[in-house]
Every structure is written in structure tokens, then in C-alpha cells.
């Protein structure tokens, strides 16, 4: 299309990245926060105790199933997951049988304190889970619509990454190139550096992200192999997970469950080192009951050990087969995307590479404006990109910080407070986009929003100290690093934003003549 | 030689829709010939589908002649699309 192959790939890279860059920035930043979802959950519920010991697994399971028997008798499924590496709570889930007219039965879940097996009493909040879920359900949109939007954006991201690699001939040499304070050149170097630094992560996260909803995006593949109809997806998932054989119909004859203790012992003996993570009971107190005990490998393979017992007789029915090769590749891609297997060091690496990806997108968007300011600086399209850049790159971090402010400032007992935490975040974002649109010169807008980001993040530990007794003065002496880590990371972000804001403010006088903080003469290079 | 805007619009349409249909059709055909169970073959097809899609998109923008792009993309899509429908164990009942 253009003169040469690399020119046309350069065009493709630029436009594929630009048109969805802001959605991708949102997806990357909220998704990155998701790597610390459990830690954020804890910080957002300051009523929770400081780090404490959980009760033994068999006792916790016995108490949890007692609660389920009391609260959800006649359910078709009871499920209990045990607290694990980062998950602090016991979680119970129940599903009632389908109603007579074929509608899905009622379901419910409960978080139980790992030390007492009593319901967790803490403020209502979306927590880190909400931030994590936003990165693919976009919060306000219906699920399927959001998945499609994120899918289209991810596909364009994938195109931008692969065409970007093609364009970027001198990957190794350029990696050591950074020319600061050179306007457009510096942004190009920064974008290259951030892209190459974490390239395997960028490719993995984008490709695997697409695969999570591939049954939707590539539905024709499902049709050709499974035909049409409502049951198609369920059949596909059941076959992929090997669950089909455990779905047995309720017999209708009552039969008490065998005691769980000996089964747990049997399962643990076969599992060796890994701990039991969850127990599922299908058709409890029926002659066809099934008890499924699971543990997960601490590796990206998401390989799980699964052992199925007959719930009424205690007979061992089946031990799950290891994954076949295609399923193993899939599970590994999902495992790498989620990073649930990651210990503290690797988790931090995930968080940092996620931030690098976010910064890569931000630098790419900024580069687009730096390159074109001299030529088309006055057009509507250019203004739009500039405004969206400021309102998103600086505005979104402020908005996320206000989500945490709202968590501390909205009264703990207020009805609907969890919803309002999120509303505050999106209202803040909208206001900052508006500010970006109205504020001239834009360079002032950048400095103001960056200072705002510095304050919004940097002051959070202080707000926390004024409103709760889970602040650094308590979490640090207790050695509760999960809790302290949140405050310290926010403090670090605050300092980071302040440094950038100060740097830009100091450069302002030098470019007083220019409307923007990139001297125009450099943009033409 | 078409103008620049027409060039771009045609290539975007070809890449988005042609690329999707071709990638899905080739992936479906691949899933028919893989010697494995139905679910494994489907998963394998899905795994390669996005890689194919990206490759087709890049090719659509790299080819110099618009006419050649349409001709080649069109014939490949028709061939693989027909194979995907005709050989499907579900879509065409024997």
C-alpha cells in the first residue's frame, strides 16, 4: 500500500495501536492492579484482622459444610474453597436445582473468616476483584458487549505488536538507545525500550487474553464441530475440562453423606505435597451424591489434581487424568495470563511488567502527537487525541486513586457504598477528561493532573491513618507486609507522579513560546 | 490506481472481514484433520485462529496491488470457506 513493506507495516502499527489505545491503557492498568487483587481486597476492608493463623483444613471444611447444610438444604451443589497462599478466606458457594419451568436455580456465596468459620464482617466493597473484573467487563456494560469490545481492542493490540516487531528492525541495538530531552526521538526510544523490555509478556498477555473468550470470538469453529444450539458451549466446556462424567442426575432417594475426614486423608495421601484447595459436593444427601476433592499445582500449567468419591458409599470413582497436549497448552496460556501460581517475587515481576505494558501504550499514544504536532497540530482529530491522552494517561491513575479514597471516606455502613466507590472513580475520570478538553495550554493541564495524581496517591496512606487503625504505624510493626505494601506502593506512585510533574513544570518557562511541552521545531524531525 | 482513502478503506474491510472469515475457515479445516478428539482438535483450531488472523491482516496491508489482494484473498476465502462448510461434521448432514 505504501512504498515498501516496512512502511506499510509502520502505518498498520500506528493506526491499529492508536484507535483503541485508550481502552487498552484502561485494560492494562486495571488488569495490572488485578495481580494484587487479594491484597487490595484486604486493604479495602480494614475491619479484617491483621495477619492471623487459619484453622486446620478438615475442621474448616466440616464447619463450612455444616453451615451449607443449614443455609442451603436441598441444593444440587455445595462448594467450599479453603484459604490458600493469598486468599485469606474460606469461601462457600451453593446452587439450588433448576426450577420446574427449567429456570436456573438460586445460587449464593459466603466469605467465612478462616480463623472462626463465621461470616466475614467488613464494609461492603468491590475491592481488588472489581478492578480486576473491569479489565474485561468494563464495569458498566453488559458482559457480552464488554467482552466483544475488549476482544476487538485486543485483536488490534495483537496486530500492533506483531507489526511493531516487523517495523522495529534493530531490536537489539535500539534497546540500548535512549536519547532524553529530544522530544519525538525520546518518546520513540521510550516506546521501543518499554516494548522490547517486556515483549514476551506483551505477546503472551494479548494472545492469551483473546483465548479466554475465543468460544465467543471464533464461534464459527464451535459451530462446525458442535453444531448450533444453547447446549453447545456447555458441552464444549465439559469436554475440555473432562467434567462430563461427574454430572449425574439426582436419584431422589435420600442417603446420608459419608464422613468427609477419611476421604480427605485418602486424597491428601495421593496428592503428596500440594494442599487440598477445594471440596465440591454434588447432590448432597442423595444416593447419587459425588464428592470431588481438588488441589492445584503451583505452576502455570493450572494442572489440577482431582479425585472423585461416591458421596453415599465413599467409593473412589475416578482420579482426573493429566491434561492432553492441546489442553495443556491452553491451560498454560491461561495460567501465565492470570499469574495465580506466582509467588511474591514473580508476582512483583508481573506487576512491574504490567506497568511497563501500560507505559508502553502511554508512550506510543504520546509519540503519535509528538510526531504530528508541527504538521496537523490544529486539527480536530489531533486535539481529540491530545485530550484523550491527558485525560487517560494522567486522569485514569487519579480516578483509580479516588476509588480507594471513596473506600475510606464513604461511611462504612452506607447502603450501596460499593457501587458508589466505583461511580466516584468513573465520575473523576469523566471530570478529568473534561478538564483536559477545556484547559489551554495543554501543558498546564498535564502539570495540574500529574500533581493531582501525586496528591491522590501520595496522601492515601495519610487518609488511611486518619480513618482506620490499619495504617503503616500498625501494619509495619506487625510485619503485615501485604497491608503495608499497599500504602507503600501508593506512596511510591505519589512520589513518582510528583517528580514528573515537577520536571514538566521546570521545563515550562523554556517552552513558553510553544503551546505544548514539546518544542515544535523538534516535532518536524 | 485508486486514491489513498479508497485504498485504505478497501484494505480495512478486506482485513477485518476477509481476514476473519479466512482465519476461521482455515482453522476449522485444520481442526478436521487433526488426529485427536473433537475437543482437542477444536482447541487446536482456536489456538491458531488468531495467529492466522494477524498474518492475513498484515498481508492485506503489505500487498502492493489492490486488485491482486482482492483476487487472492477472495479465492482463498472461497476455497477454505467451502471446505470448512462441506467437511464439517455438523453443518452438512450426510
pLDDT in tens, A123-154: 999 999 999 999 999 999 999 999 999 999 99
What are the grid coordinates assigned to A195, written together? 516494548
A213-A343-A326 Cα angle (round to 5): 35
Q: What is the 3-state secondary structure (H, E, C) of B52-71?
A: HHHHHHHHHHHCCCHHHHHH
**ipTM score of the complex?**
0.94
- Test B39 with A218 for CB contact under 8 angstroms: no
- pLDDT in the model for residue A269: 87
Split at pLDDT 50, 70, 90, the class of A303 is: confident
Q: How confident is the model at residue A501 (pLDDT cuts 50, 70, 90)?
A: very high
Report pLDDT for A1: 57
> Taking CA atoms, what residue in A is nearest to B64?
A1
Residue A419: name the closest of A430, A406, A438 by CA. A406
Residue B1 in this model has a pLDDT that exceeds 70 = no
Higher-confidence position of A169 and A463: A463
The burial of B3, by beta-carbon neighbours within 10 Å (0-12 exposed, 13-18 middle, 19 or more buried), is given as exposed
B57 close to A (CB below 8 A): yes
Each residue's pLDDT tens digit, A266-279: 988 888 777 888 99
Alpha-carbon span A285 to A68, nearest angstrom: 12
Q: Give A168-196 pLDDT, tens digit per residue.
A: 877 666 666 777 777 788 888 899 899 98
Q: Does A211 contact B90 at a Cβ distance shorter than 8 Å?
A: no
pLDDT of res. B16: 96
Averaged pLDDT, A411-430: 95
3-state secondary structure A94-133: EECCCCCCCCCCCEEEEEECCCCCCECCCCCCCHHHHHHH
Q: What is the pLDDT of residue A184?
A: 82
Beta bridge partners of A310: A290
B64 touches A at CB < 8 Å: yes
**Domain ranges, residue B66:** 4-92
CA of B86: which chain A residue's CA is closest?
A224
Q: Which residues of A touch B11 (CB under 8 A)?
A: 1
Predicted local confidence at residue A173, as pLDDT = 66
In this predicted structure, what is the pLDDT of residue A518?
A: 47
Q: How many CB atoms lie within 10 A of CB A400?
A: 22
Confidence (pLDDT) at B93? 59
Q: How many CB pairs under 8 A join A and B?
A: 107
- Output the CA–CA distances (angstroms, integers) from residue B42 to A33, A325, B29, B93, in the order listed: 33, 13, 10, 19
Q: Per-residue confidence at B12, pLDDT binned at 50, 70, 90?
A: very high
Interface test with B, best of A245, A326, A331 (most B CBs within 10 A): A326
Question: Between A1, A159, A227, which is nearest B54 by CB?
Answer: A159
Residue A388, pLDDT > 80, answer: yes
Amino acid A513: pLDDT: 44
Q: In degrees rounded to 5, what are phi and psi of residue A17?
A: -75, -40
Res. A114 pLDDT band, cuts 50 70 90: confident
pLDDT of residue A121: 87
CA triplet A246, A251, A252: central angle to 5 degrees?
A: 140
pLDDT of residue A517: 45
- Rounded mean pLDDT of A285-305? 86
Domain count, chain B: 1
The pLDDT of residue A274: 76
Report the pLDDT value the prediction gives residue A512, as an integer from 0 to 100: 46
> Closest Cα to residue A439, out of A486, A394, A409, A481?
A394
Least confident of A77-91, A442-456, B49-63: A77-91
Residue A522: pLDDT band (50, 70, 90) is: very low
The pLDDT score that the predictor gives to residue A4 is 83
Q: What is the DSSP letter of A276?
A: P
Band (pLDDT 50/70/90 cuts) for residue A62 is very high
Instruction: Give the nearest partner residue to B58 out of A12, A218, A240, using CB atoms.
Output: A12
Please list, in sequence order, all residues whose beta carbon lies within 8 angstroms of the beta carbon of residue A165, skipping any fewer than 6 positions away: A171, A199
Residues 6+ apart with CB under 8 A from A396: A25, A26, A29, A429
Which of chain B's residues have a Cβ under 8 Å away from the Cβ of A215?
46
Give B84's contacts in chain A (Cβ within 8 Å): 220, 224
Residue A211 pLDDT exceeds 90: yes
Alpha-carbon span B53 to B51, nearest angstrom: 5
Q: Which residue has the higher pLDDT, B19 or A516?
A: B19
What SS3 state is found at A286? Answer: strand
Q: Write the pLDDT tens digit of every residue in A243-264.
A: 666 667 888 888 899 999 999 9
Chain A residues contacting B, CB < 8 Å?
1, 5, 8-9, 11-12, 155, 158-159, 162-163, 166, 207, 210-211, 214-215, 218, 220-228, 236, 239-240, 324-327, 329-330
CA of A477, closest CA in chain B: separation in Å? Answer: 49
Distance CA A494, CA A491 (A): 5
Judged against a pLDDT cut of 60, whether residue A59 lies above it is answered with yes
Residue whose entry in the numeric block shows the C-alpha cell 488426529: B35
Kindly determine whether residue A239 and residue B46, on different chains, have CB atoms separated by under 8 Å.
Answer: no
The three three-digit cell numbers of residue A41, written as one number:
481486597
Q: Locate cell 493490540: which residue?
A: A157
Phi and psi angles of residue A290, each rounded to the nearest 5 degrees, phi first: -125, 140
Q: Is the pLDDT of residue A524 over 60?
A: no
CB of B22 less than 8 A from some CB of A: no
Amino acid at each position: 500500500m505504501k512504498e515498501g513493506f516496512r512502511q506499510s507495516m509502520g502505518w498498520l502499527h500506528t493506526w491499529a495501536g492508536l484507535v483503541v489505545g485508550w481502552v487498552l491503557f484502561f485494560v492494562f492498568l486495571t488488569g495490572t492492579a488485578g495481580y494484587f487483587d487479594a491484597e487490595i481486597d484486604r486493604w479495602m476492608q480494614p475491619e479484617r484482622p491483621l495477619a492471623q493463623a487459619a484453622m486446620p483444613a478438615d475442621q474448616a471444611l466440616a464447619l463450612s459444610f455444616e453451615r451449607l447444610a443449614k443455609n442451603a438444604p436441598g441444593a444440587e451443589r455445595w462448594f467450599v474453597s479453603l484459604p490458600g497462599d493469598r486468599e485469606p478466606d474460606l469461601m462457600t458457594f451453593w446452587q439450588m436445582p433448576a426450577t420446574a419451568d427449567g429456570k436456573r436455580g438460586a445460587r449464593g456465596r459466603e466469605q467465612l473468616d478462616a480463623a472462626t468459620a463465621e461470616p466475614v464482617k467488613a464494609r461492603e466493597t468491590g475491592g481488588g476483584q472489581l478492578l480486576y473484573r473491569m479489565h474485561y467487563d468494563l464495569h458498566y456494560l453488559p458482559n457480552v458487549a464488554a467482552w466483544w469490545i475488549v476482544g476487538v481492542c485486543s485483536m488490534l493490540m495483537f496486530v500492533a505488536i506483531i507489526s511493531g516487531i516487523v517495523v522495529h528492525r534493530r531490536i537489539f541495538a535500539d534497546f540500548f538507545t535512549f536519547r532524553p530531552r529530544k522530544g519525538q526521538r525520546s518518546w520513540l526510544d521510550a516506546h521501543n525500550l518499554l516494548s522490547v523490555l517486556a515483549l514476551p509478556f506483551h505477546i503472551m498477555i494479548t494472545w492469551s487474553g483473546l483465548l479466554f473468550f475465543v468460544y465467543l470470538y471464533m464461534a464459527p469453529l464451535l459451530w462446525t464441530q458442535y453444531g448450533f444450539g444453547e447446549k453447545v458451549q456447555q458441552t464444549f466446556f465439559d469436554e475440555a475440562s473432562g467434567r462430563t462424567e461427574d454430572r449425574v442426575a439426582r436419584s431422589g432417594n435420600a442417603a446420608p453423606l459419608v464422613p468427609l475426614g477419611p476421604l480427605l486423608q485418602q486424597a491428601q495421601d495421593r496428592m503428596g505435597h500440594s494442599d487440598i484447595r477445594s471440596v465440591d459436593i454434588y447432590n448432597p444427601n442423595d444416593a447419587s451424591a459425588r464428592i470431588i476433592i481438588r488441589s492445584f499445582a503451583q505452576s502455570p500449567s493450572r494442572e489440577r489434581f482431582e479425585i472423585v468419591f461416591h458421596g453415599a458409599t465413599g467409593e473412589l470413582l475416578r482420579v482426573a487424568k493429566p491434561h492432553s497436549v492441546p489442553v495443556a497448552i491452553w491451560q498454560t496460556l491461561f495460567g501465565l495470563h492470570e499469574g495465580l501460581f506466582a509467588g511474591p517475587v514473580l508476582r512483583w515481576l508481573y506487576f512491574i511488567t504490567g506497568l511497563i505494558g501500560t507505559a508502553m501504550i502511554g508512550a506510543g499514544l504520546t509519540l503519535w502527537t509528538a510526531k504530528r504536532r508541527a504538521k496537523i497540530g490544529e486539527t480536530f482529530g489531533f486535539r481529540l487525541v491530545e485530550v484523550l491522552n491527558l485525560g487517560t494517561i494522567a486522569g485514569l491513575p487519579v480516578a483509580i486513586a479516588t476509588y480507594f479514597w471513596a473506600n475510606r471516606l464513604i461511611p462504612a455502613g452506607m447502603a450501596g457504598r460499593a457501587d458508589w466507590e466505583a461511580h466516584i472513580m468513573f465520575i473523576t475520570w469523566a471530570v478529568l477528561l473534561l478538564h483536559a478538553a477545556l484547559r489551554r495550554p495543554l501543558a498546564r493541564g498535564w502539570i495540574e493532573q500529574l500533581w493531582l495524581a501525586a496528591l491522590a496517591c501520595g496522601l492515601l496512606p495519610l487518609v488511611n491513618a486518619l480513618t482506620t487503625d490499619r495504617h503503616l504505624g500498625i501494619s509495619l510493626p506487625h510485619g503485615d507486609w501485604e497491608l503495608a505494601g499497599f500504602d507503600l506502593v501508593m506512596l511510591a506512585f505519589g512520589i513518582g507522579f510528583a517528580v514528573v510533574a515537577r520536571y514538566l513544570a521546570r521545563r515550562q518557562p523554556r517552552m513558553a513560546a510553544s503551546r505544548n511541552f514539546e518544542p515544535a521545531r523538534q516535532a518536524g524531525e | 490506481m485508486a486514491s489513498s482513502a479508497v485504498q485504505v478503506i478497501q484494505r480495512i474491510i478486506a482485513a477485518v472481514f476477509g481476514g476473519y472469515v479466512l482465519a476461521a475457515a482455515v482453522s476449522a479445516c485444520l481442526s478436521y484433520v487433526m488426529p485427536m478428539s473433537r475437543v482437542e482438535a477444536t482447541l487446536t483450531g482456536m489456538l491458531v485462529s488468531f495467529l492466522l488472523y494477524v498474518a492475513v491482516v498484515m498481508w492485506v496491508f503489505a500487498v502492493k496491488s489492490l486488485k491482486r489482494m482482492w483476487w487472492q484473498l477472495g479465492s482463498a476465502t472461497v476455497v477454505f470457506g467451502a471446505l470448512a462448510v462441506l467437511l464439517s461434521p455438523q453443518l452438512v448432514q450426510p
